[in-house]
Amino acid sequence: MVRSIKLSLLMAILGCVWAFQAGAVETLILKTQKDQVNYAIGINIVSNLKQQGIEVDLDLVIQGMKDVHSGGKLLMTDEEVRKAIYLYQTEVRKNYEKARTKTNEGKKKKTENVPVGGKE
């Protein structure tokens, strides 16, 4: 019983230390201009992706960035990267065209239903 209480207390203390360190890291992140630029790059990339309606798995995006940055082994070849991006872009364009066509058809039907003189 005492051992269990000690273990629980130790876990609670470690949790507090970890939370404090995590909080400390958050406040230290933007101390320099370089830190601010790096953070701004992250904001810019993700904002652009969101604006384009591209859903990403942030963990995989970050892993890809880390692998390239470290010069480590990549999980995909250059050809696989090009193909994956090409296929995704093709799908996005196709969806965009479908949406545009639907919008144009809706506008066309709306104008076809307006009687001569412009009033319904």
Task: Locate 9 and state its tokens.
Answer: 């207390």
Residue type at position 44 = N
- pLDDT tens for the chain, 120 residues: list them: 544 444 344 444 544 445 555 555 556 579 899 999 999 999 999 999 888 888 889 999 999 999 999 998 999 999 999 999 999 889 888 888 888 887 777 666 666 666 666 665
pLDDT at 52: 82
Cα–Cα distance, 14 to 23 (Å, whole number): 14
Q: Global pTM?
A: 0.54
